[in-house]
Structure 1
């Protein structure tokens, strides 16, 4: 009985810690998006110039190749998917940071 209780408590602690790490990762990715001016054109839940990040997440939900395509789009820019206003290239954003931002965007619900 005591072992079961201890294992349950340990499992709960691990779940809480993983949730905290996830929240920390989300905050770090949002900070990267702010530092790289992504939020000048994209709102989390509303369209500004470009689509809302939640709309991007919804559009690409379940698309296994979306992450790599969107990282490339962050770096090179693009147009036509969300309308005629082009997204400018962002060569100053490292591949690693673009990946973190895209992972965060795709995780939004």
Structure 2
């Protein structure tokens, strides 16, 4: 019985995690992030997997990247600047960046 409860709890955690990932992908789509980025390939901007790899272990990356989502940036990934996205709130920017940095 204990084993069944443990397996059920682990399954529920997996469903919640995949739901959160889908929710963040939906947020990225609704905020037009996927017009310039993809998870696994460069489009106009870098692949989200490449962003996650570049900033792995960088404790200050999440805050800097969340600010870039809202205010834009240039020079890190080449000559094409990332435009600001004023439609993204501070909380949404943090949620999006946390999702991107968690991509493996």
Coarse TM-score class (shorter-chain normalised): over 0.9
- Provide the TM-score with structure 1 as the length reference: 0.90
Query: Following the alignment from structure 2 to structure 1, what is the Cα–Cα distance between the partners of residues 84 and 21?
Result: 23
Question: Considering only aligned residues, what root-mean-square deviation do their CA atoms show, in Å?
Answer: 1.0
Distance 1:105 1:24 in 2: 15
Secondary structure at 1:69 match in 2: helix
Q: Following TM superposition, by how much is the alpha carbon of 1:64 offset from its aligned partner in structure 2, in angstroms?
A: 1.5
Q: Which runs of 5+ in 2 are unaligned?
A: none
Query: How far apart are 1:103 and its partner, in Å?
Result: 1.2
Task: Report the structure, 1 or 2, having the larger helix content.
Answer: 1
Number of aligned residues: 104
1:76 is the counterpart of 2:71: yes
Shift of 1:8: 2.2
Q: C-alpha deviations, 1:35-70, integer Å up to 9, x for none?
A: 111011001100011000000011111112111111
| Structure-1 separation of matches of 2:102 and 2:78 | 23
CA radius of gyration, larger in = 1
Moved over 6 A (4+): none
